[in-house]
Amino acid sequence: MITRKILVLFSLAFLATLGYGIMIPTLSVHAHELGASNSAIGVIVSAYAAAQLLTQIPMGRLSDYIGRVYLVVFGFGLMAVAATLYHFATSANQFIVLQALAGIGAGSLWPSLMAMITENVKTAERGRLMGAFNTVFFLGVGMGPLIGGLIAGQWGRVAVFNAWTLVAVLGGFICIVAIKETAEERRASAARARATKEADAPLIKPGMMRTFAAGLVVRARGGVCSSFNNALLPLYAVAMFEATPQMIGSIMFIHGLGLAFFNIPGGMMTDRVGRRLPVLAGSLVATAGVIWYSAAGSYWALFAAVGLAGAGSAFSTPAIAALAADVCDPRRRGEAFGYFLTSFNLGMVLGSLVFGFVSDLIGLWGAVFTWGVTSLVLSLFGLLIRETLVQPQSILVRGKVEARA
């Protein structure tokens, strides 16, 4: 059941991704005009993910002790500060610092948001809810670049930073006004976290560590794809098809659209057939789209390939998120989602860094093809996932029918 609180959390996720996505179509091009090489642009994009990678696990743990709301508001505040300071950035090094600041903000809010969502739903409905959450999340991912491309084309590149600032401020305001977390709830959460630590309870249930790790590897594949698209896809589209900012925004939008709307069927499927099959099938479809990048003979072929890559990634994501919630100690769910989110950001760091350097060595097309092969390898880790102890919904329903008979 979708409650008022969940709707508010969905809106916060949408605003967080929308704000950052607004400046994505112009980031690489703007940095390139300031003298940054492809590899330097990879470092700039990866700085955002690297900061999240370093902060999400400790921030997830902190949210288990002090409550979730404080960290969400803090995260939006840092994003607003970073977006405002972009007006004064004149070099690649300054871009790196500001990206890292915004990444710390994102690393502060995401574990808390995801923990609050999973704490308000039954296990058997977790896949569908995560599918709906990811739909909202990726609508922001897709709409942000589309809006950002239009803003940049109409008012110039600097205007996108104003829009990002406004969106971040709005997110923090909504969180303060709409989500009430009492002192008693915070004390109870801290007591549960302390009891878990004192009992030396493991984060992951016995026998499920390989499954958890394999899910994180496949999730990291999605991070590589996002960072590749953010750092090099705009340059590839310009080099191959002389793409305008609006065209680049449209490519990013179709990727986000695929990510958004294929989360829902992916979430429904994982509640019916389990976690393993959607993880593997979705990542392989995404890989097919990535390989198509290098074979695209026109802008519209690239447009379709990017959409396919987004759809495949989306189909697998709810299953991995539900799996992470299934196999962890419920009292340490903030920490578990810290690892889940960190795996994605590790992929973003490595993707933009590695393929930025690869493109400098063998060209943009070579980097695109190499990424397709890498995507296939990472997808095959889905074969190592075994089903969690939670029975799929279809099995539960059949069991109830048999019991009545």
Give average pLDDT by consecutive 10-residue segment, the chain, 405 residues: 79 90 79 78 81 84 78 92 87 87 90 78 70 80 82 82 92 86 56 56 81 91 86 84 82 81 83 87 94 90 92 89 81 77 82 83 89 93 75 42 37
Residues 6+ apart with CB under 8 A from 31: 40, 41, 44, 92, 95
Of 340, 375, 339, 341, give the one whose Cα is nearest residue 355: 375
CB-CB contact of 45 with 234 (8 Å): no
pTM of the complete model beyond 0.95: no
pLDDT of residue 375: 93
pLDDT of residue 218: 93
239-261 core/surface letters (b: 16 or more CB in 10 A; e: else): ebbebebebbbbbbbbbbbbbbb
pLDDT of residue 401: 38
- In the 8-state DSSP scheme, what is residue 36? -
pLDDT of residue 12: 92
The SS3 of residue 97 is: helix
Of 200, 193, 198, 165, give the one whose Cα is nearest residue 68: 193
Domain extent, residue 186, equals 4-404
Tokens of 404: 């009545």
Tokens of 65: 């002790």
The total number of structural domains in the chain stands at 1
pLDDT of residue 393: 43
CATH number of the domain within which 245 lies: 1.20.1250.20
Alpha-carbon torsion, ordered 268, 347, 26, 43, to 10 deg: 170
pLDDT of residue 404: 41
